[in-house]
Amino acid sequence: MAYEKEKENAAAAAMELVEDGMTIGLGTGSTAKFFVEYLAEEVADGLVVKGVPTSEDTRRLAESLGIQLLPIEHVDRIHLTVDGADEVDDRAQLIKGGGAALLREKIIASASDLMAVIADPSKEVEVLGAFPLPVEVTPFGYTITAKKVFDALKAAGVSRPRIDVRTRSGNKPIVTDGGNYVLDCHCSVIPDAPKAAAHLAAVPGVVEHGLFIGLARTVIIGHEDGASMFEY
């Protein structure tokens, strides 16, 4: 598959950040899955770490591979979180949430000493917005919230946003691990990501949005023959 080797190499490079005794946030998605698998190999060889999963999918994977997990309620400190991204720009601003885990991902990332993003080159962009921006909303009044999200994006400079409710088979809205719906906001270009983030955060009914601003401090881009690491 396209970029599979690059994803693997990005995940392998992130292992350089792992130290014995760490509590590690475990991301969600195809690239983060490689990291969990690499981490499990080291655990099998004697590495002592504890994981904090960002989704039920990641929890099941980590448990199946023998990684010791901590419930978020028992976490005092998260030393490192390694997660993927749907888009990343040259300021380490991200769009996340393609896997519908953005709320837990952001809670864990914001509680971490270091968030490292692992990605293949297709995720690098000059300006965020080509990937539909996920916004997690409460089911109650979600159609009203969707209209307010549209207004918020317009006010933040997005010229012609289109808002779709993410659905599963049977055309029913998908439900996140937190029991919410996801709006996919087709923006094409988000000219001012911090402004858009602030406007979205002010909308009643919005639980969280997929703009990760000022959270990632390390970005690792995988290549066919290795990976590049950038610090911010």
Which residues are part of the catalytic machinery? 105
Q: Are 210 and 87 in contact (CB under 8 A)?
A: no
φ and ψ of 126, to 5 deg: -80, -40
CA torsion 32-69-77-215 (nearest 10°) is 20
Q: How many Å apart are CA 28 and CA 97, to the nearest integer?
A: 9
φ and ψ of 94, to 5 deg: -125, 155
Structure tokens at 201: 């955060």
Q: How many Å apart are CA 39 and CA 67, to the nearest integer?
A: 8
φ and ψ of 62, to 5 deg: -65, -40
**182 sits in which H/E element:** strand 181-186
Whole-number Cα distances in Å, 231 to 140, 212, 216, 228: 41, 16, 9, 10
Q: How many Å apart are CA 157 and CA 89, to the nearest integer?
A: 18
Half-sphere exposure of 200 (CA within 13 A, CB side): 29
Structure tokens at 119: 């990605």
